Structure 1
Amino acid sequence: MEKGLIPVKVTSRAAEEVKKIFSNKQIPDGYRLRVGMKGGGCGAAGFFLGFDKEQEHDQIYEIEGLEVLIDKRHIMYLLDLELDFEERRDEQGFVFNKP
């Protein structure tokens, strides 16, 4: 587990939803939440989350009671990013905010 600066903030609401997914969707043992960046053409980039096993370039952070995997090469792009869970009238889901 990494100590010190945590590059990504996770709201308590988002953490609770991730924990529900872990228990309700039967995510296999050894998998953790992964937060990362996906590249696109012409400089377009986006962020993603999923469930994965630890890979060679990963750092593991404890955030809001979750073990979060982040590829070392993505850390600088994720600094100050916040993962939240929003519920709206017609939809709900995880969102990334850059406060």
Structure 2
Amino acid sequence: MKNWLFLSVAIVSEVLATSALKASDGFNRFWPSAVVVLGYGIAFYFLSLTLRSIPVGIAYAVWSGVGMVLISLIAWLGFGQRLDIPAMIGIGLIIAGVIVLNVFSKSAVH
């Protein structure tokens, strides 16, 4: 269970860093740029801890799927990005894929 917590911290840190990337204005603003560097550092550190017990393919699939969904929600809510029906269907399929991977796959560590 601890490893999934580590993966969650990695995902949240990466999402915060990616969100701050837009606000950094091409690394021209100090504080958003600092959040980017710190966030990615934390994300990769906790991902490395996760990989001690969760296979890299599973960890990365969950990382990228959940991260993409969260970034899409932040872009929609925070930056006014429009999500059309195909985008929402695609996001739903990614969520379904992460669920199938974790619930039904013998590759995932439970």
TM-score, normalising length from structure 2?
Answer: 0.25
TM-score, normalising length from structure 1?
Answer: 0.26
Higher helix share: 2
Q: Which has the larger radius of gyration?
A: 2
Higher strand share: 1
More relative contact order in 1 or in 2 (CA 8 Å, sep 6+)?
1
